[in-house]
Homo-oligomer: A and B are copies of this chain.
Amino acid sequence: MNGFPDLQKTTKILADQSRLEILTTLMDGKFHTVNELAKKAKVKSHTTSYHLKQLCQLNWVSSYKQGRNVYYSLSSEDIASLLEKLMNISPTKEVHSFNENSEYQKLKKGRSCYKHLAGNLGVSFFNFLVQNQHIKLENNSLMLTIKGIQYFESIGIEITCIKKQKGIFIKPCLDWTERTFHLGGNLGRAFFNLCEEKNFIILNTENRSVCLTSSGEDFFKPFKP
């Protein structure tokens, strides 16, 4: 039988620095080993195991074993979007060290937000789409126009295929560095994939930042304001 949602089970899991570190690392949408996550969270690997077990029990992460490694990833987009929401309402932390700052700058430039393109790159592209009436933003909801369909087809994304995928086709995703929208949903993911396939961007496995290749520079040039 149903009952009240047990909020505390969710929020207690979120209220730990190490687990947050793990979760934000997994926000790149890729798989990571326990050791990788331990290094990011700056705790011993068995402590990381302990955390991952809890995250597994809540079905927030899923794992698969391969050889002596265990690979973990976020198990649902809901978690990613919850984390984004939290990032957007949280106060910002002062950046102290040089390393922290350079990491912040990289993430601000471009990053994977659960497999779609976020940061300055993502937002520039989004604004380009709006200005050219390829998409229309109204009341927090997003629509692809006919002109937009033609545009995406022209760069090699088959809209009819994407529309068949389950999940949300298109949605605006609030970006925590830019405080404005980038392209989310299946279309956002398709665009990210395209950029990876065509070698426009390279995803850094350490911190989910992306950097532009030289061909990427050319491709993204028209989108810069």
| A82 proximity list for chain B (CB < 8 A) | 85-86, 89
Check A92–B2 contact: CB distance below 8 A.
Answer: yes
| Stretch of A7-15, A62-70, A124-132 that contacts chain B | A7-15
Distance between A107 CB and nearest chain B CB, rounded to angstroms: 8
Tell yes or no: A161 within 8 A of B by CB: no
- A139's contact among B92, B104, B142, by CB below 8 Å, is which? B142
Residue on B with the closest CB to A143?
B141
Count of chain A residues with a beta carbon within 8 Å of a chain B beta carbon: 49
Check A92–B8 contact: CB distance below 8 A.
Answer: no
| A143 proximity list for chain B (CB < 8 A) | 138-139, 141
Q: Is the interface of A mostly helix, strand, loop or mixed?
A: mixed
Residue on B with the closest CB to A169?
B139
Check A87–B5 contact: CB distance below 8 A.
Answer: yes
Chain A residues 59-109 with CB under 8 Å of chain B are 78-79, 82-83, 85-95, 100, 104
Check A88–B141 contact: CB distance below 8 A.
Answer: no
Residue on B with the closest CB to A4?
B93
- A11's contact among B9, B79, B86, B104, by CB below 8 Å, is which? B86
Check A139–B14 contact: CB distance below 8 A.
Answer: no
Check A4–B185 contact: CB distance below 8 A.
Answer: no
Tell yes or no: A171 within 8 A of B by CB: yes
Distance between A151 CB and nearest chain B CB, rounded to angstroms: 18
Distance between A109 CB and nearest chain B CB, rounded to angstroms: 14
Tell yes or no: A201 within 8 A of B by CB: no
Tell yes or no: A220 within 8 A of B by CB: no
The 5 closest A-B pairs by CB, nearest first: A141-B141, A15-B15, A3-B95, A11-B14, A5-B90
